[in-house]
Amino acid sequence: MKIVGVLGAGAMGTGIAQVALMHGHPVILVDNDHGALERAKTNMRHAIQREVEKGRVGPEATAYTLETTDRLDALGPSGLVIEAIVERIAAKHDAFRALSGIVADDCVLATNTSSLSIAAIASAATHPERVLGVHFFNPAPILPLVEIVPWLGTAPGVTRETQALVDSWKKTTVVASDTPGFIVNRVARPFYGEALRVADEGIADFSTIDAAMRELGGFRMGPFELMDFIGLDINLAVTRSIFEALGFDPRYRPSLTQQRLVDAGMLGRKTKQGFFDYRGATREPEPLIDREVGERVFDRILSMLINEAIDAVHWRVASPADIDLAVTKGVNYPKGLLAWGDERGLDHVLEALVALQTEYGEDRYRPSVLLKRMVRNGGRFTT
C-alpha cells in the first residue's frame, strides 16, 4: 500500500490522514507544532474507534500504521504527500521547495489549498508536473466530495492516478480547472451573495430569505443560517478572494452588511451572534409567511445560481456532469444546478436575468453567453 504523507496536522490534515489510514495506507503526519500532532493522534484514535463501533469499518481499521513527527524529511518514503498547512503562498512555496528535495522523483505532491493557485504552488517544486490540487471539504472524513485540480502543467497520468486513488477512499471526485474557487466555492457564491443583496435592499429579511430557500427550494439550510454556521469571517474571506482573483467581477462583490458584522466580531454561531442571535434558547428557523415575496426571492437567487453554474461550464471550470455532482455532494444542494436549469426552463432563467439586468443596469446580472446560446439553439444540459 502506498505510503501517504500529510503535511499539516490541523483540522484538514487530521481528517485527510484519518481517511487514508481507514483505507489501509501507512500515514506519516508532519507538523511543526507538537501540540497539533498530539491532538491529531487523539482525535484520530477516537474517530476511528467510533467508526468501528458504528460498523462503518471493520475492527482491523484500528490496527493502523501512523507516524507523527515534526521532521519534514520523514516524508521521504511517501508515494503521495498531501499538504494542508497554513493558507499562505510563501509558506506553501517553502514547503514544496523543501519537499522536492526529500521525496522520490515519482512521488505526487498535492495541496489542499482552497484559494491559492495550484500553478503558483507548483512553481516552487522541482517536478511541477507531479503537483496538483486535492481539495477536501471540512470535515474530510464525513464530506464525500473531493475536487481534483490539475494545473495546466500537471501530467495527465498524475491526475488520473490521483483521482483513482481518492476514488478508492470511497470519495466522490470531480475534476476542476485551476481557477479561483474551483467548482463549489465559485458556483455557490450567489447563494450567499444574492441573498445578502436581497436583504441589503430590504426586499426581505434574513428569516424570510432562509425560509424561502428551504421551503420553496428544498435547501437544507437557508443562506443566513448557513453563513452563521460556516462563520461570517470565513465565508467573507472566500467571497473576497474570488472577487479579487476574478478581476473584481461585480457578481462576487462582498456585502457591506456582512463586512460590518465581521467588523463587529459577530461571526455567527461561534460567537453566538451573527445574522441571528444564539445567546438564548435554541434558535428555531421561522416558517415562510409571505409566500409571494418568498417566490420572488427564491427565483432570483436560484436564477443567479444556475447562471453561475452555466458560466462555469462556459469557462471550462469543469464538465456539466462534474459541476452538478459537486454541488449535490459538496454543498448538499437538492438538485444539480444545470439539471435544475433544464427543469425550470433555460428560457425562464434567461428572462429572469435580463429583467434584473434591465432594472438595475448592472453587469452583475449579465446572463452567461452560454445561457444565451443554449436558449437560442434550444439546448439542454440533461437528456
Q: Active-site positions?
A: 114, 135, 147, 185
- Of 107-115, 142-150, 208-216, 314-322, the segment contacting ligand NAI by CB under 6 A is 107-115
Could you tell me the sign of the dihedral formed by the alpha carbons of 292, 239, 326, 311, in that order? positive
Q: Residue 342, interface with ligand NAI (CB under 6 A)?
A: no
Q: What are phi and psi of 108, to 5 degrees?
A: -95, 130
Neighbours of 223 (CB within 10 A): 26
- Candidate ranges 19-27, 111-119, 159-167, 323-331; the one touching ligand NAI (CB under 6 A): 111-119
Residue that has been written with the C-alpha cell 481557477 in this structure:
179
Angstrom distance (rounded) from CA 82 to CA 313: 28
Which CB, 7 or 327, lies closer to ligand NAI? 7
| CB-nearer residue toward ligand NAI: 138 or 382 | 138
Q: Smaller CB distance to ligand NAI: residue 133 or 217? A: 133
Q: In what order do the strands lie in the sheet with 80-83?
A: 66-69, 27-30, 4-7, 80-83, 108-111, 131-136, 145-150, 172-175
Cβ closest to ligand NAI, residue 17 vs residue 198:
17
Binding marks (x or -) toward ligand NAI, 8..47, rule CB under 6 A?
xxxxxx----------------xxxx--x-----------
Question: How near is the Cβ of 276 to ligand NAI at its closest, in Å?
Answer: 21
**Can residue 99 be called a binding residue for ligand NAI (CB under 6 A)?**
no
* Binding status of residue 91 toward ligand NAI by CB under 6 A: yes
Nearest-CB residue for ligand NAI: 10
B/e letters for 162-200, b = 16+ CB within 10 Å, e = fewer, are bbebbeebebbbbbbbbbbbbbbbbbbbbbbbbbbbbbe
| CA distance to 235, 277, 303, 304, per residue, from 249 (Å) | 17, 32, 18, 14
Q: Which of 22, 75, 84, 209 binds ligand NAI (CB under 6 A)?
A: 84
Tell me the C-alpha distance between 101 and 278, whole Å: 50
Rounded-to-integer distance, Cα 318 and Cα 48, Å? 33
Please tell me whether residue 290 binds ligand NAI under the rule CB under 6 A.
no
**Which residue type sits at 320?**
P
Contact segment (CB under 6 A) with ligand NAI among 133-141, 153-161, 256-264, 274-282 equals 133-141
> Number of C-alpha atoms within 13 angstroms, CB side, residue 320?
16
Is residue 341 a contact residue for ligand NAI (CB under 6 A)? no
User: Closest CB to ligand NAI among 9 and 346?
Assistant: 9
Q: Does 112 bind ligand NAI (CB under 6 A)?
A: yes
| Interface residue list for ligand NAI (CB under 6 A) | 7-13, 30-33, 36, 84-87, 91, 95, 112-114, 136-138
